[in-house]
Structure 1
Amino acid sequence: MWIALLFPFTASAQSSFESITRAVKAGDYQNIHSILIQKQGKNVYERYFNGYTRDSLHDTRSAFKSVTSLLVGIAVDKGLISNIDQPVYQFFPENKAFAADPLKRQIRIKDLLEMRAGFDCEEWNDGKDCESEMEQQRDWVKFSLSLPMKHKPGTVWAYTSCDPMILSGVIEKASGMSVMDFAGKYLFTPPGDGAIPLDN
């Protein structure tokens, strides 16, 4: 939990923070890993719970989908991707899935960004959930590209982890580096600082 204080920091505020700590430790609030409170950019209260520390890593799951879209924007800005209307098949000339289903040749980067690629895969609304099956595969991008089509690309929204997975493959093909290395170099490393370690 992160809170930015917009009111004066006082001794009574410190007392309130300690009462929050007691309540979390007593089990009044479940699944709290940490509380960080800042005032004018400085930490005034920082506590960790349930075995977590400042250095504990968290599985960000779907939050990284937004990071992937940022990375696509960076790749476009650097000229590695011409624009978001570029067809995806151009990045995977060796993949036979595009020849097997001509509809797949219509998928653009924009369709993947908007989760409108048209695959028969949706993690909500009682659709075919492909994420669990994908996680059992060695090559997640290849698996995602092999999915059957259900809709014309760009026409129907369907929440799926496969679309951003293909985007990560596009970034890797366009940049010549892993998506994690690309993110570390261009997004998560401030100028002059060391790289922030990222894990797949």
Structure 2
Amino acid sequence: MTQRKKIWLEKIISSSYSNTAGIMIQKEGKTLYEKYFNGYTAANSVHVASVTKSIFSALIGIAIENDYIKSIDQKVLDFFPDYTVKLGEKTIQSITIKDMITMTAPYKYKSEPYEKFFKSDNWINAALDLLGGKGQVGQFMYSAIIGTHILSGILVKATGQSVSDFARENLFSPLEIHIGDNVVLNNKEEHIAFFQDKNASGWVVDPQGVNTAGWGLTLTLKDMAKIGQLYLDDGLWNDKQIIPAWWIDESTKEHSRCSQWGNLPYGYLWWIIDEKEHIYAALGDGGNVIYINKKNKMVISIASFFVPNAKDRIKLIKEYIEPTFENDNSQ
């Protein structure tokens, strides 16, 4: 990459994507570009928001491969035998793990009642109370926080471990990713402070100590890049199969489609950017991205601190980053 192109790219980032903390671009396993902004360094972690979902998808695949979960066709309520279904409710009884990870489970709300959910003393029960209703199973309905937390409960019930312990043992430790302590948020003010914290660390837990599946995880830019490279390499890391290759293949195919955001295809908690070219991404609020271009063997990781209505990073990647780096094989 020429110095001129580098200055041009960084000018675009500074002017139009000013909440960026860091960008790393890899091709064929080599780092072509690594740059930090706004006082961030390689040591700083950020709250990656919904990128957490895509990482949690890997944990579900690992749990299935190791026979903790029979299959994604298992019913959600199989894992919560003590949960009492309300009289006359049938839809919730048919909902499967697959419905949850493809965002095709229905809920009893039009928009997520976050405050009510967070104020409850048991987030998983509160989420189960909102699952089902009169909606149709199989229709895309994105659940940013509430529905995905049920997946955390399923993983804990299936494995007998905390989410963070299972993740460390089976995913993070082999990649030498260090996750900080559990984060307890006691009130609205603490929630807001966590989202706004430019030095966030750890993984959010609910009142029972269950880590969140849809948000709440903090990672460094290099951690994000490692996850991306692991997916690009079909789950293989240092000659060890960390995530089953079959799971990555299935996770990054279209299984549903989000009509509300540009008719974008959705896999198993991964966004499918271009199925033909095999490009997919983990996308988190504020502009956090792990972008994998299988055809070009590229991984683009972007860490950002939260601002409302952050500019779309996919546009940055497709219009500026990829054209600049796709033919660059320098190190």
- Structure 1 length-normalised TM: 0.74
Structure 1 residues 89 and 20: alpha-carbon distance in aligned structure 2, compared to 1, 3 A threshold? closer
Contact 2:95–2:137 (CA<8 Å) still a contact in 1?
A: yes
Structure 2 residue 183 is matched with structure 1 residue 196: no
Q: Percent identity?
A: 32
Query: In the alignment, what sits opposite 1:17?
Result: 6
Larger Rg: 1
**C-alpha distance in structure 2 between counterparts of 1:132 and 1:66, whole Å:** 24
Residue aligning to 1:124: none
SS in 2 for 1:81: coil
2:54 equivalent to 1:66:
yes
Q: How many Å apart are 1:145 and its aligned residue?
A: 0.5
Greater relative contact order structure (CA < 8 Å, 6+ sep) = 2
1:33-44 superposed matches below 5 A:
33-37=21-25, 41-43=29-31
The code of the aligned residue for 1:179 comes to V
The answer as to whether partners of 1:185 and 1:195 remain within 8 angstroms in 2 is: no
Q: Structure 1, residues 101-126: CA drift from partner, whole Å, max 9, x if none?
A: 343222211111122222123xxxxx
Q: Secondary structure at the match of 2:35?
A: strand
> What secondary structure does 1:54 align onto?
coil
Q: Return the offset for 1:51.
A: 2.4
Q: List runs of 5+ in structure 2 lacking aligned partners.
A: 180-201, 205-331
Q: How many positions carry a matched residue from both structures? A: 179
For residues 45-85 of structure 1, the C-alpha deviation after alignment (integer angstroms, 9 at most, x for no partner) is 54322121212222222222222222212111111111111
What amino acid does structure 2 have at the position aligned with 1:80? Y
Residue correspondence of structure 1 range 120-199 to structure 2 within 5 A: 120-121=108-109, 127-147=110-130, 149-151=132-134, 154-160=137-143, 161-190=145-174, 196-197=178-179, 199=203
Aligned to 1:47: 35
Higher strand share: 2
TM-score by length of 2: 0.47
CA RMSD for the aligned pairs?
2.8
Alignment of 1:106-121 (within 5 A): 106-121=94-109
Unaligned runs of 5+ in 1: 1-8, 122-126
Superposed structure 1 runs of 4+ greater than 4 Å apart:
18-21, 37-45
Name the CA distance, whole Å, in 1 between partners of 2:163 and 2:60. 10
Q: Does the CA contact (< 8 Å) of 1:69 and 1:113 recur in 2? A: yes
